[in-house]
Amino acid sequence: MSDCNRTMEDVKTLLQSTWINREDPRDKRKLYDAWADTYEQDCTMMNYRAPQLAVDFLSEHFSGNPEEALVLDVACGSGWVANEMAELGFKNFEGVDGSQGMLDLAAKTGLYKDLRLALLGPEPLPAQPGVFDVVIIVGGLDAGFAPVSVVRELCNAAKPGGFICMSRGDHSGRPAEDYKAELDRELRLMEQEGLWTPVGTKRTDRYMEDPHVDTKGLKEGPKPELFISGTAYLFKKSKQ
């Protein structure tokens, strides 16, 4: 089937495959390399709103000069987040992703000063510590993707007083629920350790269409919830 004939059900099947073989990051890398060319059009079809959610929430609290801010875009994918931020005046981006296919697309945006390939978790975050005004990760915090331990690396990359912005969807299933519980514990622990202070969270009940809901042939009866919810988190790194 050609990409122009791809249907919503085709995209849902593809998205569901990203939750298969969670334990091997190399499988995830291969999947995203193959998916890169249609990634944005497919996610748009699914009403994926994570980049806008995170960037809008960040912009509500960022009081510096965006043209001078150094931004680390983690799990940068095709450069979607950087494009959203560029519309608000941000100009200086460095990106990290586990897929070379995605990095090739990000390079075509012309927005990044540097792009680095790394599988978060198995490999350390390849970023200079303590220099970024903004560190942002959108969509990478889930079971089978970046482990919870990565949030400490995000904080380490930010400069004192810098922002760490994260967004994730509330996907169904025990692995996703366990991941969220572990993430919440880690976020609180890092606050208790004085590494950062929470600025706030912003929730939406329409983070993206639920790829696990089969709407094909639905005509009568109660309709299932078609969207999953999601949250943007914003922290400020401590200056001590």
Q: How many CA atoms lie within 13 A of 152 on its CB side?
A: 12
Residue 238's contacts (CB-CB under 8 Å, 6 or more residues apart) are 160, 194, 195, 196, 197
State whether residue 136 is helix, strand or coil: strand
Residue 4 pLDDT > 70: no
Q: Is 208 exposed, middle or buried (0-12, 13-18, 19+ CB in 10 A)?
A: buried
Domain boundaries, given as residue ranges, for the chain: 6-210+225-237
Domain 6-210+225-237 has CATH 1.10.730.10: no
- pTM for the model stands at 0.87
Return the structure tokens found at 110.
């012309």
Per-residue pLDDT reduced to its tens digit, 10-35: 555 555 555 544 556 667 788 888 88
What is the residue type of 110? G
- Closest by CA to 204, choosing from 19, 11, 39, 48, is 48
Higher-confidence position of 41 and 86: 86
Per-residue pLDDT reduced to its tens digit, 194-226: 999 999 999 999 898 876 665 555 555 444 468
Average pLDDT, the chain: 87
Per-residue pLDDT reduced to its tens digit, 71-83: 999 999 999 999 9
